[in-house]
Amino acid sequence: MMPLAALAAALCLALPLAGFSPASLAADAGAAPAKTRKVVLETTGSGYRWKLVEAPVPAPGQRQVLMRVHAVALNRGDLEMLAPGPGADLSGMTVASDAAGEILAVGSEVKDFRPGKRVTTLYFRNWVDGPMNDETLKGAHGASTNGVLSEYLVIDDTAIAPAPAGLGDAEAAALPTAGLTAWTALNAGGPIAPGDVVLVQGTGGVSTFALQFAAAAGAKVIVTSSSDEKIARARALGAAEGINYRTTPEWSKRVLELTAGHGADVVVDVGGKATLAQSAQSLAWYGTLSVVGGLSGYDGQIPAVNLLMRRARAEGIYVGSRADFLQMSAFIARHGLKPVIEREFPLDRYEEALALLESGGFVGKIILRP
């Protein structure tokens, strides 16, 4: 995934306030209070920190909805936004990108949603379908426009989707960034097929979703981790093999051994600088290296020889569109999948949640409950 701090700095965007006209309401928002608590970025001089504030609850505009947020999932990008590059003033921006809740009111031109509908937010507010472009980047919640960590939220109707049936609020909130990134990464080179080999790194949100999706599709999943305990948890979720990269530093060779020289048809790389070379060395013929993140840095290099000699490809992955989300939701419902939730925190304990996120000592997702 593109570093969010770099995105915000490059765009230098002014954060739009939600415009509205009370006359545009198609339903009474009387269930909402006059004020809402939300978490925003506050400057520290050298970066930003999260701050809990109180703000008025706006009414939705013509193509917007008012939702009561019940759960918000945290992502690695939320940490990156605390230290953005120069050029962007993010003071006062609402944080986070992934929420689930219930619609309380809709604008007069909203066609597909009604009060009472359970929905999730989407990472991009204006990427409905088709290829990504520069305009899409300007609508990244919690990065280039206001995020979703608020008790009550007004949001565009293009920036939400129905919550998958059978999932609770915390589970649904886990999907918009980590789930959809994993889905896009797995399918970048074509749909995963039974018998394919998929290599995932670690047990964070994206990697855990990639493991679950690939295993459900019938693929053989290999997971790398520095923790034997986390490898055991990954096996319980469907991983066929685990490699501890601390005791097996040349883990790409082990991938080839475990696959009788075949390699991985898809590698979901979240490590970046420290892992890209071995990820490329792990590829099968015509395999796909999906570059998702940069936990160790974004300035890594992919050895061209490994792509050339195996006719493989590398592709950058940046979440996905609303259409992609709906396809993923259908897959989740069809296979009865449940996102992995490590821990939930009440809103006023957001500092504890951030500390756990930064520690890396978790499997799956961390949730805040506004």
Confidence (pTM): 0.91
pLDDT of residue 290: 98
DSSP 8-class letter at 240: S
Report pLDDT digits (tens) over 131-176.
999 988 889 999 989 999 999 999 999 999 999 989 999 999 999 9
What span, in angstroms and rounded, lies between the C-alpha atoms of 29 and 21?
Answer: 13
pLDDT at residue 198 above 50?
Answer: yes
Pairing mode of beta strands 241-244, 220-225: parallel
Helix, strand, coil: what percent of the chain each, to 5?
30, 30, 40
Q: Identify residue 30 by its one-letter amino acid code.
A: G
pLDDT of residue 3: 58
Average pLDDT over residues 350-370: 96
pLDDT at residue 27 above 80?
Answer: no
Report pLDDT digits (tens) over 61-120.
999 999 999 999 999 999 999 987 666 789 999 999 999 999 999 999 999 999 999 999
> What percent of the chain lies above the pLDDT cut of 70?
91
What span, in angstroms and rounded, lies between the C-alpha atoms of 207 and 278?
Answer: 17
pLDDT at residue 2 above 60?
Answer: no
What span, in angstroms and rounded, lies between the C-alpha atoms of 179 and 181?
Answer: 6
Q: Which residues contact 361 (CB under 8 A, 6 or more apart)?
A: none
Identify whether the C-beta of residue 142 lies closer than 8 Å to the C-beta of residue 59: no
**Domains of the chain from N-terminus onward:** 4-178+320-369 (3.90.180.10), 189-316 (3.40.50.720)
Q: Which residues contact 4 (CB under 8 A, 6 or more apart)?
A: 77, 80, 81, 84, 140, 142, 143
More confident of the two residues 351 and 11: 351
